[in-house]
Structure 1
Amino acid sequence: MDTIQMSHSVDAEFIRQVEQESGQNVSLCYQCGNCTAGCPYTEFYDIPVSQIMRGLQAGQRDKLMSCRSIWLCATCESCTTRCPNNIDVARIMDILRHMARKAGKTPEKEVKTFCDAFLDSVRHHGRVFEMGLMTKYMTRTGRFLTDMDLSVKVLPKRKLAMTPHNIVGKKSIAKIFERYNREGGE
């Protein structure tokens, strides 16, 4: 198991930024391990959720920004639900992922590619156009046969539209993206 080196300098600004953006007090975590025990993806993580919280308390910015775990988190909120101190751990994971994205640290490239394709779809259509999302993802990753077995089942049932459907209120969605870009988004 990887040990957190407390002798390294603590990045207090990193802790403050995560707390401010998440609205959470990370010092309330006393390492009970409920978040890790309840996480359905723990076996795929390089750093368990409880250790991400400990790393955050220790101000280990570089370690957390470079870990795979924050990108693999499905934000299912099992960790949040199980926390005896009512820490919104899933929100913290989202903030860490957002910060890593802004810092250009994306060890899980395919997850980032999927997120980018998803947001592009919403930006252009006001909602997700699934066929376009899948096409863009496959083109960007080269994974052309991904989920081909599902398409054979779904297409005859007309569960995937072949053309996008724009929504009423598309301008409101555009304003959200404009505000995000103004506030320092990508």
Structure 2
Amino acid sequence: MDVNFWAEVNRAAGRKVSHCYQCGKCTAGCPVAFAMDFKPHQILRLLQLGRGEELLASRALWVCSSCHTCSTRCPCHIDLASIIDTLRFWARRRLPSSLRRGMPLFNALFLRSVRRYGRVYELGLTVQFNLKGRKVWRDVELGRFMLTRRKLRLLPESVEDRAVISQIFLAEKSEEQ
């Protein structure tokens, strides 16, 4: 890993990653830690050990929901959610898409759904993801089950004030530039 990578990671953290003392509060509060190959505290530990390359190929980056619970709970005030965003950026730049295993695609489709409706349209997201991944029939049985039990909506719902959502995406876009 080059110097720019480490500088960017520490800038995103708001302080040096070495300040983390592995209390585990970030992992304890993470709603998606169960699905991660590296838990939030392990991400920080791997960074401390200089194993950033290993993190760039991990699923954890793409499973993270960016809820900022980890950052809020950190007694050292390390912004782990921003670090994960930085790692996603580096993963997109450095890794071939075959190593990213569909998570960036899911992430992009998820954000497109939120941008369009103000919330996730689960059925549409699943169908798009499976079509683009060439696994058309993968979730058909589960979808049928969820539809019959009214756990999924057939048509998308929209939030009342989509202008607020649009402003969030505009602000994010201006920050990237």
Superposition TM-score, scaled by structure 2 size: 0.69
Q: How many residue pairs were aligned?
A: 170
Q: Which residue of 2 aligns with 1:68?
A: 58
Q: Which residue of 1 aligns with 2:4?
A: 13
Confirm or deny: 8 A CA contact 2:71 2:79 kept in the other structure: yes
Q: Which residue of 2 aligns with 1:7?
A: none
CA-CA distance at 1:132 after TM superposition: 1.2
Matched residue SS, 2:176: coil
Matched residue SS, 1:117: helix
CA-CA distance at 1:41 after TM superposition: 5.4
Q: Which has the larger Rg?
A: 1
Structure 2 residues not aligned, in runs of 5+: none
More helix by share: 2
Q: Which residue of 2 aligns with 1:96?
A: 87
Q: Distance in 1 between matches of 2:119 and 2:72?
A: 29
Q: Distance in 2 between matches of 1:13 and 1:104?
A: 13
CA-CA distance at 1:121 after TM superposition: 0.5
Matched, 1:22 2:18: no
Alignment of 1:39-54 (within 5 A): 40=34, 44=37, 50=42, 53=44
Matched, 1:163 2:155: yes
Kindly provide the CA deviation profile for residues 43-87 of structure 1, in whole angstroms up to 9, marking residues without a partner as x. x46xx964x5465346666x2574224435546999879988564
Matched residue SS, 2:159: coil
- In structure 1, give the amino acid aligned to 2:17: V
* Cα separation, partners in 2 of 1:165 and 1:171, compared to 1, 3 Å: same
Structure 1 residues not aligned, in runs of 5+: 1-9
Determine which of 161, 174, 178 is the counterpart of 2:170. Answer: 178
Matched, 1:147 2:139: yes
Percent same amino acid among aligned pairs? 31
CA-CA distance at 1:120 after TM superposition: 0.8
Q: Distance in 1 between matches of 2:61 and 2:80?
A: 14
* C-alpha RMSD of matched pairs (Å): 3.7
Q: Distance in 1 between matches of 2:154 and 2:100?
A: 29
- In structure 2, give the amino acid aligned to 1:19: N
* Cα separation, partners in 2 of 1:183 and 1:114, compared to 1, 3 Å: same
Confirm or deny: 8 A CA contact 1:18 1:92 kept in the other structure: yes
* Cα separation, partners in 2 of 1:159 and 1:57, compared to 1, 3 Å: closer
Matched, 1:137 2:139: no
Kindly provide the CA deviation profile for residues 80-138 of structure 1, in whole angstroms up to 9, marking residues without a partner as x. 7998856454553343124423x263522311111111111111111111111111111
Matched residue SS, 1:183: helix
- In structure 2, give the amino acid aligned to 1:160: L
